[in-house]
A and B are shown apart, each in its own frame.
Chain A
Amino acid sequence: MKGQALKGHLDMLVLAVLADGPRHGYSVIEELRHRSGEVFDLPEGTVYPVLRRLEGAGLLASDWEEVAGRRRRTYRLTDRGAGALAEERSAWEGFAAAVGSVLGGAPWPSTA
């Protein structure tokens, strides 16, 4: 259930992790795990198809560098990606607040 639920939001979460600055794939998945308190612990390779897809959609851009004799690709958010993230974030916050209110029994928007 957790895996399926995460699947639908992985794009948004990856964009959010990259909003703080450029990262390579390893660092993206580490940050995802860290920020979620170890809850989002997916097969690490699954982040790369997401990164490639987001880059293909113009929401991310990438650069190659040489680190310890290996090629490393670093991803950064594009302006379009930042716009998409803002929109997703606001939609998510509205949705989460509404679900929370229904589950908690309080009216929404909350007046407390």
Chain B
Amino acid sequence: MAQHGVIDAYVARLRASLRWRPDAEDLADEAEDHLRETAARLVREGLDPDEAAARAVARFGDSTQIAHAFATTPSGGTAMPTSVTRTCGTVGVAAALCWLLAALVPVVGLTERFTWSDLAVYLAFMALAALAAAMTTVVVTGLLVRSGGLGGVVAAAVLLGALAATLSVLGVTWAWPIGGLVFAATFAGLVWRLRSTHTRSAATDWLAVAAWPVGVVVFVALTRLEVGPLDEYGDRPVAYAVGFATGALLFAAALLGLGTWARSEVPADTVALART
């Protein structure tokens, strides 16, 4: 009975880790067959059933790592070539760079006049923020596919959120708090997805969720404290610029982490073999 308990618990863990795959039941059945066969052989070799079950499970390997290995495997339309993941990672790093530049431009530009009146600075800021937002949506889409496909409520919500955030940044850059907060919600869904599918579980990814809310808090605080002069519209550009820069810098750091990780994905041998 105890023998069944250890194996049952392991198979249940593996099944839970693989639940995003359409063939999760098949994979769990296959693992169970393997574990019971190993345990039976160890019992024939003289081990007691409890020890045999424990050893069979230990030899099979950590269920999280096995599930992670399956994440790079083609399955029911959720396959993603490693090269695409790596490209997506490169876009992520480029997006991080754009957010960084977009953060610096208004801050540097503002040090001279403390207004938005310098059109060139404002246009550069708009172009960089728009580019960064568009690339961020590409990364979100790529990581969703990588972590099990675009299907499902979470994936749909994340994708729609990313598109909405991008459109709001594209349309009116000065409304960055709205786009930023939508990105924060989007990344909450994405990070949750990555963790629940065991595709990736880095605590630093939560920075992508926290970045924009922190930026908005800085913006609100500086406005309340009446930091910097008012412009002709009655706004405080310093508060806008510093708040945006805070959010964008933190967000860039998180994207850099995600992008670097995706870029370093090891190519599957099968990609080379399948070409023959």
Contacts and interface: CB of A to CB of B under 8 A. Distances in A.
Interface of A: 8-12, 15, 24-26, 42-46, 48-49, 52-54, 56-59, 67, 70-73, 83-84, 87-88
B200 interface: no
Contacts of A45: 31, 34, 60-61, 63, 65-66
- Among B74, B268, B269, the one with the most A-chain Cβ atoms within 10 Å of its Cβ is B269
B75 A56 contact: yes
Contacts of A42: 61
Contacts, number: 98
Interface residues of B, number: 32
Given A45-B31, A87-B276, A70 B269 contact: no
26 contacts: A9-B269, A24-B34, A42-B61, A43-B61, A44-B38, A45-B63, A46-B66, A48-B27, A48-B31, A49-B69, A52-B27, A52-B74, A52-B75, A53-B72, A53-B74, A56-B75, A56-B79, A57-B270, A58-B274, A59-B274, A67-B33, A71-B30, A72-B33, A73-B29, A73-B30, A84-B274
A11 B72 CA distance: 14
Given A43-B60, A52-B75, A84-B276, 16 more contacts: A10-B269, A24-B33, A24-B34, A25-B34, A26-B34, A44-B61, A45-B65, A46-B61, A46-B66, A48-B70, A53-B74, A54-B273, A57-B270, A58-B274, A73-B30, A88-B276
Contacts of B27: 48, 52
Interface of B: 23, 26-27, 29-34, 36-38, 59-63, 65-66, 69-70, 72-75, 79, 268-270, 273-274, 276
A54 B31 CA distance: 17
A59 B30 CA distance: 19
A57 to B, nearest CB: 4
Contacts of A25: 30, 34
Most chain B CB atoms below 10 A, which of A53, A54, A83: A53
B144 to A, nearest CB: 20
B25 to A, nearest CB: 9
A7 to B, nearest CB: 8
Nearest to A8: B269
A49 B26 contact: no
Contacts of A58: 274
B100 to A, nearest CB: 35
A101 B164 CA distance: 61
A12 B65 CA distance: 22
Given A11-B273, A57-B273, A58-B274, A70 B36 contact: yes
B74 A56 contact: yes
Contacts of B59: 43-44
Closest 3 CB pairs of A and B: A43-B61, A56-B74, A49-B69
B38 A49 contact: no
Contacts of B65: 43, 45
